[in-house]
Amino acid sequence: FGLIQTVTYGIVSAKGRSNVGINEYENFIQTDAAINPGNSGGPLVSLRGEIIGVNSAIFSQSGGYQGIGFAVPINMARKIMRDLIEKGTVSRGWLGVGIQDVSHDLAKAFKLKSTKGSLITGVMQDTPAQKAGMRKGDVVIRINDKLIQNSNHLRNEIANAGAYAEIEMELIRDGKTVLLKLKLDERPKKIGRMKTSPEPTQTPEQLELLGMTVEELTEENAKQLGIEPGIGVVISNVKSGSPAEKSGLLPGMIVQEAERQAVSNIDTFKEIINDIDQGKGILLLIRTSNGSRYIFLQEN
């Protein structure tokens, strides 16, 4: 509004706020102190006069202040400042894995005692994670002296550790604790993603499970997806209101694993699901355009 040296006040409503869709790395301080257009980049100051954050964004339907503002914590801002001064660019640590939060269903499927930690859904080739021996299905519960709460927490801790930092990691693997020491890499400028899912081609060999129909992943579909054939089966249809739809499954997604076993084609998928009690649910590893994630699929 063109008014300089303006001060507003309020309370800190929450710390560690994430999944608000502003940045890839989110660990915001939420405040109800008024943040208006032009305030971004200004300091969030404590009662002791300490700068505790940098005002960044607001939630608003009108474009003006509505009581929900976000600030980048000063510790995160300080590291970015140092990187820009010393290197001219922001350098973040990189592990080379796909991650997701641990839901109650997934905790049950992986026989975990709590939902804290970050579940590994994929390990990229020639990365610190692969070199250290990390696997799909590992659950990261600690980085150095920090207990990991969720996937966003893990992402921030790895990024803030910095490129080439040496870290100690504690995992849960098949119910047992595993300790790893590894050296992080620098986050690449671009990280490849699976291409947009194509329309599945109709084939005579199909299989239905809890509201989803899967079929063989043809060479044509695999080529469109930018992946190798023989790494799963493609979902061709999802029934409205079914367990599959409620789990977020969509046509074009790829089933890579079932019950922690690799699915290479329709036949292997049949063998796996025929050997389990489907009434108790089934753990699937699904590949989407944004990477891989685990889903526990069961009857309503």
Q: H helices of the chain, where?
A: 74-87, 104-109, 128-132, 151-161, 219-225, 243-246, 266-274
Three-class SS state of 166? strand
The model carries a pTM of: 0.75
Structural domains of the chain in order of their starting residue, each with its CATH number: 12-87 (2.40.10.10), 93-186 (2.30.42.10), 206-297 (2.30.42.10)
Confidence of residue 198 (pLDDT cuts 50, 70, 90): very low
Summarize the confidence of residues 148-165 as an average pLDDT: 91
- What's the pLDDT at 196? 42
User: Could you read off the pLDDT of 59-98 as tens digits, one per residue?
Assistant: 766 666 677 888 889 988 888 888 889 888 888 899 999 9
- What's the pLDDT at 275? 83
User: Could you read off the pLDDT of 166-191 as tens digits, one per residue?
Assistant: 999 999 999 999 999 999 998 877 66
- Dihedral angle sign, alpha carbons of residues 129, 130, 131, 134: positive
Written as one string, the DSSP assignment of 32-96 is: -S---TT-TTPEEE-TTS-EEEEEEEE--SSSS--S-EEEEEHHHHHHHHHHHHHHSS---EE--
- Dihedral angle sign, alpha carbons of residues 241, 280, 173, 274: negative
User: Could you read off the pLDDT of 218-250 as tens digits, one per residue?
Assistant: 777 777 766 777 788 888 889 988 889 988 899
Lookup: tokens for 106: 């997934």
